[in-house]
Structure 1
Amino acid sequence: MIWHLIAAIFAALAAAGIGLILRNLSRNRLPKWIVPVFAGLGMLGYQIHVEYSWFEHKQQQLPESSVVVSSATGTEVWRPWTFVFPITTQFSVVDSDNIITRDIEGDQVVEFILYQFIRRHTDFVSTQPYLLNCESRELVPLSNEAGEAQLSELRHLRETSTLLATVCGNADT
Structure 2
Amino acid sequence: MFWELIATLVAGVAAAGLVMLVNRIAGGRLPRWFAPVAAGAVMIATTIFNEYDWYARTSGALPETLVVAQTVEGRAIYRPWTYLWPIVERFAAVDMASARQHPGQPGLKLVDVYFFGRWSPASDVSVLADCPGLRRAVLAEGVSFESDGQIKGVEWVKVADGDPLVGTICGAR
TM-score range, shorter chain: 0.7 to 0.9
Q: Which runs of 5+ in 2 are unaligned?
A: 145-152
Look up the match of 1:126.
Answer: 123
Give the aligned residue type for 2:61.
Q
Residue-by-residue CA offset, 1:111-139 (whole Å, 9 max, x unaligned): 1111110112xx32121111111111121
Q: Write out the 4+ residue segments of structure 1 that deviate beyond 3 Å after TM superposition.
A: 145-150
Alignment of 1:152-171 (within 5 A): 154-169=156-171
Task: State the SS of the aligned residue for 1:30.
Answer: coil
- Please name the residue that 2:149 is paired with: none
Aligned length: 164
Read off the aligned partner of 1:21 and give its amino acid letter: L
Matches within 5 A, 1:33-48: 33-48=33-48
More helix by share: 1
Question: 1:45 offset after TM fit, Å?
Answer: 1.5
Q: TM-score, normalised by structure 1?
A: 0.85
- Identical residues among aligned pairs (%): 30
Check 1:34–1:165 CA distance in 2 against 1; reply closer, same or farther (3 A cut).
same
Does residue 14 of the first structure (1) align with residue 14 of the second (2)? yes
In the superposition, relative to structure 1, how do residues 147 and 14 fare at CA in structure 2: closer, same or farther (>3 Å)?
farther
Aligned to 1:3, what secondary structure does the other structure show?
A: helix
- Deviation, 1:107, is 5.1
The answer to whether the 8 A contact 1:103-1:109 is kept is: no
Distance 1:2 1:85 in 2: 25
TM-score, L = length of structure 2: 0.85
How many Å apart are 1:71 and its aligned residue?
0.1
- Quick one: distance in 1 between partners of 2:2 and 2:167? 40
Question: CA–CA distance in 1 between the matches of 2:34 and 2:154?
Answer: 60
Q: Which runs of 5+ in 1 are unaligned?
A: none
* 1:114 equivalent in structure 2: 113
The alpha carbon displacement at 1:11 in A equals: 0.4
